[in-house]
Structure 1
């Protein structure tokens, strides 16, 4: 199991938390499994940006993002150099520090298909 430190998020995880995730599990699934209800409007199919996270520590241990993920990230609110879609980034053996951005863009819900 790999330690994932989730930084405080005003709505989803006000106190922040530390969770354990198995290697190969997506960050999104790890968060959901810990009761952190991160939005995932496309049901984790890499078709939106609602599960966008910023990896504050451990980013270089993740496998590189594929082109589709990179294209979608360009549309994410608050994009940073260490941004990933949590449905695509898989936990490895290196501990991670994850920040869930304050806002997300849900293009389907906001009528911007």
Structure 2
């Protein structure tokens, strides 16, 4: 089981920590199941960059970044070295640990 902390760049949103999160689901799926706003225009199939996030801690618990994912991250707003797409960060089976992500300010996508 995992512990995942969601931090937010958007002003006024406090961090949310979820405990006992099961593996074999993406960070996007986990966010949506817990009413955490994370855009996903393509439906979570790695065809856009709207579920862009910053993986602050726990990169060893998710799949490595692919070339396709990197291409879409290059199109994201304010990409960083730790940028990932939430739909591609699937938690590994048989492990447990702590993951920390920061979600960019989602209000910047309201016009899309």
Could you tell me the TM-score, scaled by structure 1's length? 0.82
Residue 31 of structure 1: aligned partner:
31
Contact (CA 8 Å) 1:52, 1:76: kept in 2 or not? Answer: yes
Contact (CA 8 Å) 1:8, 1:16: kept in 2 or not? Answer: yes
RMSD (Å), alpha carbons: 2.1
Are 1:100 and 2:103 counterparts? Answer: yes
Structure 2, unpaired ranges of 5+: none
Q: CA deviation at 1:59?
A: 1.9
User: Matched residues in 1 for 2:89 and 2:108: separation?
Assistant: 19
Contact (CA 8 Å) 1:27, 1:86: kept in 2 or not? Answer: yes
Aligned length: 107
Q: CA deviation at 1:102?
A: 1.7
Tell me the secondary structure at the aligned position of residue 32 of structure 1: helix
User: Matched residues in 1 for 2:65 and 2:45: separation?
Assistant: 14
Larger relative CO (CA 8 A, sep 6+): 1 or 2? 2
User: Matched residues in 2 for 1:4 and 1:70: separation?
Assistant: 23
Higher strand share: 2
Could you tell me the TM-score, scaled by structure 2's length? 0.83
Return structure 1 stretches of 4+ with deviation > 3 angstroms.
103-106
